[in-house]
């Protein structure tokens, strides 16, 4: 991530608005409904106009050492009574790994919301129509048929509204495999920590319990210990089409970026993966990524 780019984008906003947006640093890329409403009033913008104005800020969070192409996306959590929290996301590429391991901006924003407790989304805002990979990823979401997708190019005042069924007709989805639960839906697996005295193992176990793996049963979580003492975790999000899923280590790295928007993230000094025994495993791939970052993965199967 280019932290100077993030600060430069913050500076593009009026001072009073920038003061509110600065809280993104402390809130892991999230704005509370009250903050969103205050920004709308200060900047005299509608909800859609504000989200569009925030897209360059989201894109400035990008980590793109391979493509050098920054993409941002924003989602709003669903609240029946009105404005929901807003979550920013950006593409994240992992140097030294296959392109398949890249996280798309839409995935990053959705994962951000999911890890911060959202179970349903009201809308997604992007400046170009989502690619096929992201459309399939979103097709797994809870109440996806009720989510609005707004596409608004930065150099145009026009906005195009879609439902996912518009963008992904005749889709292959969870129902085709008789799967009732959905990604972000309320579900919690019960797994016993393999080492209850170890906080990092407990964090990885908790992430595995909250992961979504209805097709393989390979519930997995990753927890990273940063040199400043912070623990950052990520959980697996599976997909009916397999490939568009998001691994636990990818989610953990996206969350690490969200915890370090103001400065480069600290060194990873320890990493744990907890995984439920299944016909597949993410151990080798996760160990490779963690090793590339200078740490060693501790692995537990439960």
The torsion angles phi and psi of 211, rounded to 5 degrees, stand at: -75, 170
Residue 169: other Cβ atoms inside 10 A: 7
The torsion angles phi and psi of 159, rounded to 5 degrees, stand at: -125, 140
The torsion angles phi and psi of 18, rounded to 5 degrees, stand at: -65, -35
Active site residues: 106
Q: How far apart are CA 54 and CA 123, in angstroms?
A: 14
Residue 207, classed as helix, strand or coil, is helix
Identify the H or E element spanning 248: helix 248-258
DSSP assignments along 86-112, one per residue: EEEEE-B--TTS-GGGPBPHHHHHHHH
Check: CB of residue 246 under 8 Å from CB of residue 236: yes
Q: How far apart are CA 106 and CA 53, in angstroms?
A: 17
Check: CB of residue 104 under 8 Å from CB of residue 20: no
Q: How far apart are CA 275 and CA 222, in angstroms?
A: 9
- The beta-carbon contacts of 13-22 under 8 Å, at least 24 apart in sequence, are 13/43, 13/53, 14/42, 14/43, 16/42, 17/42, 17/43, 21/54, 21/57
Check: CB of residue 271 under 8 Å from CB of residue 122: no
Check: CB of residue 300 under 8 Å from CB of residue 282: no
């Amino acid at each position: 991530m280019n932290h100077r780019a993030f600060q430069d984008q913050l500076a593009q906003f009026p001072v009073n608005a920038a003061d509110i947006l600065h809280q993104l640093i402390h809130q892991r890329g999230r704005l509370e409904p009250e903050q969103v409403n205050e920004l709308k009033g200060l900047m005299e913008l509608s909800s859609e106009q504000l989200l569009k104005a925030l897209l360059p800020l989201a894109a400035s969070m990008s980590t793109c050492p391979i493509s050098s192409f920054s993409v941002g996306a924003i989602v709003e959590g669903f609240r029946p009574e009105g404005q929901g929290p807003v979550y920013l996301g950006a593409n994240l590429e992992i140097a030294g790994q296959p392109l398949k391991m890249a996280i798309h901006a839409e995935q990053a924003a959705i994962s951000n919301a999911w890890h911060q407790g959202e179970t349903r989304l009201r809308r997604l805002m992007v400046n170009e129509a989502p690619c096929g990979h992201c459309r399939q990823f979103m097709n797994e979401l809870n109440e996806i048929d009720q989510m609005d997708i707004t596409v608004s190019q930065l150099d145009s005042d026009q906005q195009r509204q879609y439902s996912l069924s518009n963008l992904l007709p005749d889709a292959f989805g969870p129902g085709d495999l008789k799967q009732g639960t959905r990604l972000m839906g309320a579900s919690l697996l019960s797994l016993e920590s393999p080492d209850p005295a170890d906080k990092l193992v407990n964090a990885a176990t908790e992430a595995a319990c909250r992961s979504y793996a209805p097709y393989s049963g390979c519930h997995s979580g990753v927890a990273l210990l940063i040199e400043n003492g912070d623990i950052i975790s990520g959980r697996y999000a599976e997909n009916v089409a397999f490939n568009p899923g998001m691994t636990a280590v990818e989610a953990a790295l996206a969350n690490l970026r969200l915890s370090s928007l103001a400065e480069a993230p600290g060194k990873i000094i320890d990493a744990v993966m907890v995984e439920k025994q299944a016909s597949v495993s993410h151990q080798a791939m996760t160990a490779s990524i963690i090793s590339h970052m200078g740490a060693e993965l501790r692995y537990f199967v439960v």
